[in-house]
Chains A and B, each alone.
Chain A
Amino acid sequence: MRVGIVCPYSWDVPGGVQAHVRDLAESLIDLGHSVSVLAPVDEPETAALPAYLVAAGRTVPVPYNGSVARLCFGPLSLARTRRWLRKGRFDVLHLHEPTVPSLSMMACFAAKGAMVATFHTATARSRALQVFGTTLQPGLEKITGRIAVSPAARRVVVEHLGHDAVLIPNGVDVARFSVERPAHDRPTVVFLGRVDEPRKGLQVLLAAWPAVQARVPGVELVVAGPGDVEPPPGVRVLGLVDEKDKPSVYAAADVYCAPNTHGESFGIVLIEAMAAGTPVVASDLEAFRRVLDDGEAGLLFPVGDAVALADALAALLLDPERRRLLAAKGSRVVQAYDWRHVTREIVEVYETVRAAAPVELEELEEPYLDELEGEDDPSRVPETLRRWLAVVREAVER
């Protein structure tokens, strides 16, 4: 199957949606599908881009849904999107976050044919839908299949767009995170995420930290993620961690801490940590509670409560047997989120959508028109002209 995937956020900036698109594209390719990904790229000269990626242009930083989103729009990106759609001749077009005013939305308006959309965000309000409301509806109703990555994201789809979405969780390459756990002498807690973004909750963890230090001798906190932070004593700052080093960062921790305050629709970091065999302490957000099986596979503490967080961290750091039990439970939980399993479910959606989307005449003509525009070898024109006329004749006869 020829699959076109559109990612609305910059490919060279780390993020959940980008990671999802990358892993999905790669596991689709592993299954033998032909995949092209269209995404904004901020530094096309320096970024190492995979062969399946097509750059759509640079992004503009826009404050959006409580953090700064780098979005991509404008006539040049639109022209590139159109060309990519024409050349790709996709059997299925898979848009990510089409309600964010970026590339996916443009592709949705420009494209025809079988379309699938994945909704990631669990934020109760989308600014774009608030501002433009019903004017976006005619574009979004071209989408035949909707996927939500979490029950919270699914609820947002139901509230905003008025219909249901199929629930397929984010995938994790479990095998990649199952690395050897290095021995270390100091008890270690790891935080991974943007350090200067309040909703990731580092401030809650730092507020709890003195109380943890007082109870657990020699404990160390490792903070990994982009952004500036002034490290207090006993806190090691790694800065931005390369994607390939992530598994060993998780595996080097005794406990992984996710103190997020809001806006987390899924919590892929929890799955990654559990796949690496690290027990988790997370804030009691709905998405986290679901991933952690209501606290069976990891500890939950009330959102933003530094005292409760310190208690949970200290208790777990001082109890190796409990950590072992949670790690064992965690590695069972992550199997349902393995990409191989998730990709099969997504391909099922593609196949159903291909059958459920109407075939439009323009779809047949456009590829031939594109060749007539002279982008390919000119000597092929008479041949393509003949084929194109055959299509037109067939359409007229029908």
Chain B
Amino acid sequence: MNAAVAWSVLAIILIAVYITWTAGRLDRMHARVDAAWAALDAQLVRRSAAARALGVLSVTRAADEALDATPERRQDVENDLTRALRAAWASLPEGAPRDELEAAASRVALARSFHNGAVTNARTLRRNRLVQLLRLSGHRELPEFFDVDETGFSDEEPGPLT
């Protein structure tokens, strides 16, 4: 009887430790998603700023849209900006700062890749039965991937990191 009690206590302790550890792991993963999103957000803003500096009306308008967008519309609006850039790319005015824009675009590609990696990890853990059963993620929404069109702006040059 005593042995049975001792084993049950041990089992309960182990389960409690595992649950605590998993909750901590999930929390760290959400923190990683937040940090990665902050980095991606900063790079997208930088890209919008570089796009405005090109001095093309259609691009400036799309960049302003992107800077003002609500979180729900962000993905679509950033894609609109990419399309506007691609349409304007061949006929940019002389001396337009293309290099800055290409550097910003390649940073966006990196930040997006790392953000989506963090989201993949978080979503994988949130599919875990224990996490779902005990609602370890609380009220936190399921992290979403951020998908933007990353192909280059011109036909001749390949896009960053493709």
Contacts and interface: CB of A to CB of B under 8 A. Distances in A.
Nearest to B25: A138
Contacts of B113: 145-146, 164-166
B159 interface: no
B123 to A, nearest CB: 10
B100 interface: no
A166 B34 contact: no
Nearest to A353: B114
Contact of B117 (A164, A348, A355, A359): A164
Given A355-B42, A358-B35, A141 B121 contact: yes
B137 interface: no
B120 interface: yes
B115 to A, nearest CB: 7
Nearest to A351: B107
Contacts of A163: 116-117, 120-121
B114 A352 contact: yes
B118 interface: yes
Contact of A162 (B31, B35, B107, B124): B124
A167 interface: yes
Most buried by A among B25, B35, B114, B115: B114
A34 interface: no
Nearest to B35: A358
A357 interface: yes
Contacts of B118: 144, 356
How many B residues are at the interface, by size bracket?
A: 20 to 34
Interface in B31-71: 31-32, 34-36, 38-40, 42-43
Contacts of B106: 348
A351 B111 CA distance: 10
A358 B39 CA distance: 10
Interface string B98-117: 00000000110111011111
A393 to B, nearest CB: 23
B43 A146 contact: no
A352 B111 contact: yes
Interface string A345-367: 00011011101111100000000
Given A164-B116, A164-B117, A166-B113, A356 B107 contact: no
Given A141-B121, A167-B161, A358 B110 contact: no
Interface in A131-171: 138, 141, 144-146, 162-167
Contacts of B35: 356-359
A356 B39 contact: yes
A331 B86 CA distance: 32
B23 interface: no
A349 B109 CA distance: 10
B121 A356 contact: no
Interface in A359-397: 359
Contact of A166 (B43, B121, B161): B161
Contacts of A348: 106-107, 110
Contacts of A145: 110, 113-114, 117
Contact of B110 (A141, A162, A166): A166
B40 to A, nearest CB: 7
Contacts of A138: 25
Nearest to A357: B35
B88 interface: no
B136 interface: no
Contact of A357 (B25, B32, B124): B32
Contacts of A166: 109-110, 113, 161
- Complex A-B, nearest 6 residue pairs according to Cβ-Cβ distance, in ascending order: A356-B39, A355-B39, A358-B35, A352-B110, A356-B36, A163-B117
24 contacts: A141-B29, A145-B113, A145-B114, A145-B117, A162-B120, A164-B113, A166-B109, A166-B110, A348-B110, A352-B110, A352-B111, A352-B114, A355-B39, A355-B43, A355-B111, A356-B35, A356-B36, A356-B39, A356-B114, A356-B115, A356-B118, A357-B35, A358-B28, A358-B35
Given A167-B161, A356-B111, 8 more contacts: A146-B113, A164-B117, A165-B113, A348-B106, A351-B107, A352-B114, A356-B39, A356-B40
